[in-house]
Amino acid sequence: MGEGLKALILGIIQGLTEFLPVSSSGHLELANSFFGDHGLPKEQALMTVTLHVATVVATLLVFRKDIGEILKGVLNRDSQQLRFAGFIIISMIPAVFIGVLFEDAIDSLFSSNILLVASMLILTGIWLLLADRQPKTQQKSISKGSAVMIGLAQAVAILPGISRSGATIGTALMLGISREKAARFSFLMVIPVILGKVFLDLLQGDYAQTTIASSSLLIGFTSALIAGYFACKWMIDIVKKARLSYFGWYCLTIGMIGWVWILMTKG
């Protein structure tokens, strides 16, 4: 398979699965395993960084008005916006703490460990099915305590196969937070986390000697940006209409297929 086509497919997978509650890391691991050619580590890392930047840009485009209001409110010392910004910072702490202290251990999990990915996809499916059972009429807002709990869910979602959006939105719904506020907070809280991770990856990695073509990076970025933009808007609508169970059953199915694949290949 050509590098350009592979970049296109990986970009679409990243763009869709970053926002839809089906685990982008899990699907990228499955896709790389399917391709069979994992390439050089630096090439993989550079493509991953590129795709993550694309999904951040997609989030910024979808929530540009919300972000503008938050920044304006913080500059004007608006108490409501300051509280919301504070909750976002609180929600980042667990993921940052675990990501920094256990970076090497986490990186070792991303090595085509299909058994782990399949198991975590099944867990994501159960998580989504439970979350979707929550009533649509919930009216709670984000609080300091719920920000911590949602942040812990985001930290758990570092594992390949656990959906970040599914874990954070699902946890918010289980805490009684309204569906619209759960989706909005979930997507806004990830922006600084991903940007921070991308910044660290760029500092730690020397990509000058990589052989991956710039055209492939551009194809991956563009496809992830377009797919991510529409997936983000679609996901907001899905949460409002209480349709997370569809993705719950999907994750359960993919996870079970992964288990069957493992048994067949090892049998």
For residue 140, give the 3-state DSSP assignment. Answer: strand
Q: Which residues contact 221 (CB under 8 A, 6 or more apart)?
A: 11, 50, 51, 53, 54
Contact criterion met (CB below 8 Å) for 14 and 228? yes
pLDDT for 100-129, tens place per residue? 787 777 777 766 678 888 899 999 999 999
Please give the pLDDT value at position 42: 54
DSSP per-residue string spanning 214-247: HHHHHHHHHHHHHHHHHHHHHHHHHHHTT-HHHH
Residue numbers in the chain where pLDDT is lower than 70: 1, 31-44, 110-112, 205-211, 267
Please give the pLDDT value at position 152: 95
Domain boundaries of the chain, sorted by first residue: 3-266
Please give the pLDDT value at position 124: 93
